[in-house]
Amino acid sequence: MAATTSSIDSGVGEAGLKQLLQDMVRRESAKLDQETRELGEQCDQQRNGLARSIEAQTSAQSKVASLREAAAKHEEIVSDKQAELDWAIEQQAKTDAALADAEQDEDEADNNVAVSRAKFDRMAKELTVRKSEVDAVKVNVTRRVIESLRKMIQLEDELEPTRYAPVGSLTSKLRHDTTVSSYEVRSNKHHGAERAKPMDQDDQEEHGSLGERGFNTSEGSITMRAEDTVYHDATNSVRMPTSPSSGGPDTPELVTDTI
């Protein structure tokens, strides 16, 4: 406007003024067009950036949704695993308690076994000693029975001329059975057979000829031969000569064979 005023003042004509205004409008228009283009380009850039941002936002939202779904699944899995873990911990506690009880029972069983083994060993030793004592008693009883039989045979030989006459008891009482030819020996229950009877024909044939005297007792069998006497119990056999004239010693001979 200053230029216009100056032009007018300087005597510029109306045509020049019009041209001057047109130039000014053209320049301003060009300037505005340039600014508009720049703003348009900037708007396009902003629009593209916004589109990319929206696309990124959509992708991020989709990713967030997917992650939220995965997180929910993982949370469910974690919840299940936590329940399993709690159950496993509870079972472990029960197992530990049962193991402690079992170990205590095992210790008690070991202790009981040790006590039982000690009792068994002690009883085995006592049984061994008792067997030895019983064996000694058997030998002693056998010797006493043999001595009693020896005395009985000697008494019989002195009293009766025949071999099948009645036999006297150890108390010197004679007894004769009129129906069955028999021999009877009475003695203490703890020192041999309580009752002895002669063998029948089958027993005589099995144990020896008629020249032998055989007795069946609750403790075994007794066979008396002309030359010696044999006593059989459940464990041992003892042979004893009836007299020194039979060629053997005048003492009992212990023969360890089992009947």
Read off the pLDDT of residues 83-128 as tens digits, 9 standing for 90 and up: 999 999 999 999 999 999 999 999 999 999 999 999 999 999 999 9
Q: Is residue 234 within 8 Å of 220, Cβ to Cβ?
A: yes
pLDDT in tens, 41-74: 888 888 898 899 899 999 999 999 999 999 998 8
Sign (positive or negative) of CA dihedral 47, 48, 49, 52: positive
89 in any annotated domain: no
Q: Does 151 fall in a domain?
A: yes
Whether residue 6 lies inside any domain: the answer is: no
**φ, ψ dihedrals at 71, nearest 5°:** -65, -40
Residue 208: how many CB atoms within 10 A of its CB?
Answer: 17
Q: Does residue 153 lie within any of the structural domains?
A: yes
Helix (H, G, I), strand (E, B) or coil at 171: coil
Domain encompassing residue 160: 134-255
pLDDT for position 202: 52
* pLDDT reported for residue 115: 93
Higher-confidence residue of 212 and 155: namely 155
Predicted local confidence at residue 86, as pLDDT: 93
Number of domains in the chain: 1
Q: Is the pLDDT of residue 19 over 50?
A: yes
Residue 170 buriedness (CB in 10 A; 0-12 / 13-18 / 19+):
middle
Planar angle of CA 154, 174, 142, nearest 5 degrees: 50
For 39-94, list the strands marked E by DSSP: none
Asked if residue 13 belongs to a domain, the reply is: no
Comparing 20-24, 189-193, 205-209, 219-223, which segment has the lowest mean pLDDT? 189-193
Give the span between the Cα atoms of 219 and 193, in whole angstroms.
6
pLDDT value of position 153: 87
Give 228-249 pLDDT, tens digit per residue: 444 444 444 444 444 444 444 4
Asked, for residue 244, whether it belongs to a domain, the answer is: yes
Inform me whether the pLDDT recorded for 82 exceeds 50: yes
Give Cα 241 to chain centroid, integer Å: 62
- Residue 49 maps to a domain: no
Which pLDDT band holds residue 134 (cuts at 50, 70, 90)? Answer: very high
Predicted local distance difference test score (pLDDT) of residue 16: 84
**What is the spatial distance between Cα 189 and Cα 126, in angstroms, rounded to a whole number?**
26
Residue 154 has pLDDT above 90, yes or no: no
Q: What is the pLDDT of residues 166-218, one digit of tens each?
A: 444 433 333 333 333 333 333 333 344 334 444 455 544 444 443 444 444 44
Residue in this structure with the two tokens 């000569």, named with its chain if needed: 241
**What single DSSP character describes residue 210?**
T
Query: How far lies 148's CA from each of 186, 187, 189, 220, 243, in Å?
Result: 10, 8, 13, 16, 14
pLDDT of residue 104: 93
Higher pLDDT among residues 199 and 132, named by residue: 132
Kindly report each contact of residues 179-184 with a partner whose C-beta sits within 8 Å and lies 24 or more positions away, as own/partner: 183/213, 183/215
Q: Considering only residues 20 and 176, tell me which one the structure prediction assigns the higher pLDDT.
A: 20
Q: How far apart are CA 73 and CA 65, in angstroms?
A: 12
- The answer to whether residue 121 is domain-embedded is no
